[in-house]
Amino acid sequence: MRPEALLLICFFLVAAQLQAREADPQLSLSLTDADSGEAIEGMQVVLFHFSETRSTWRLVDSQVSNQQGKIEGFLAGDDHQGVYRLVLRNQKFFQQRNQKARYPLIPVVISIDSSEPVSLSVSISETTYSVSQTEP
C-alpha cells in the first residue's frame, strides 16, 4: 500500500473518531414515576442556557423522553460549560393518568463546569419530585 493511501486512511479514521466524540451528549436525563418506579415516556423537557452578561435564559433545545424514560441527546459534544435550566413539563403525564400534578412544571437548574458528561435522574410523583446525579 502506498504511503499516501495509508495516510489518507489514518486521516479518515481520526476524523471519524472526533466526530463520534462530538456527537456524544454532555447532558442526559432519566425520568421515573416515584410511585411505580416505571420509566416515564413522552414527557417534554425544555433546556435553557443562562447568559451571565445579559442575565437572561436562552432556549437551547426541547426533547421528549423515550420508552425507557430517557433523554440522551442534550448538548452534543463536551464544551458546554455554564448554567442550564431544564424544565420538565409533567402536567400532561399526570392528566393522562387522571391525576393532578402539584408541580405542573419542574425547573431543574444545574451548573456544568467541566467537559465530563452529566447524567441526572428525576423521580416524579403527583406531589413530590427528587433530582440526583447518576453515573453517565
Residue type for 21, please?
R
Q: Is residue 35 part of a domain?
A: yes
Q: Is residue 126 part of a domain?
A: yes
Residue type for 116, please?
E
Q: Is residue 4 part of a domain?
A: no
Domain that holds residue 100: 25-134
Grid cell digits, residue 75: 448538548
Domains identified in the chain, total number: 1
DSSP string, 74-98: EEESS---EEEEEEEE-HHHHHHTT
CATH of the domain at 125: 2.60.40.180
**End-to-end CA, the chain:** 41
Q: Is residue 5 part of a domain?
A: no
* pLDDT tens digit at each of 136 positions of the chain: 555 544 444 444 444 444 444 457 899 999 999 999 999 999 999 999 999 889 999 999 999 999 999 998 899 887 899 999 999 999 888 888 898 889 999 999 999 998 889 999 999 998 999 999 987 6
Main-chain phi, psi angles of 125, to 5 degrees: -130, -175
Q: What predicted TM-score, i.e. pTM, was given to this entire model?
A: 0.78
Q: Is residue 33 part of a domain?
A: yes
Q: Is residue 119 part of a domain?
A: yes
3-state secondary structure 6-51: HHHHHHHHHHHHHHHHHHCEEEEEEEEECCCCCECCCCEEEEEEEE
Q: Is residue 9 part of a domain?
A: no
Task: Count CA within 13 A, CB hemisphere, residue 108.
Answer: 24
* C-alpha–C-alpha distance, residues 133 and 64, integer Å: 19
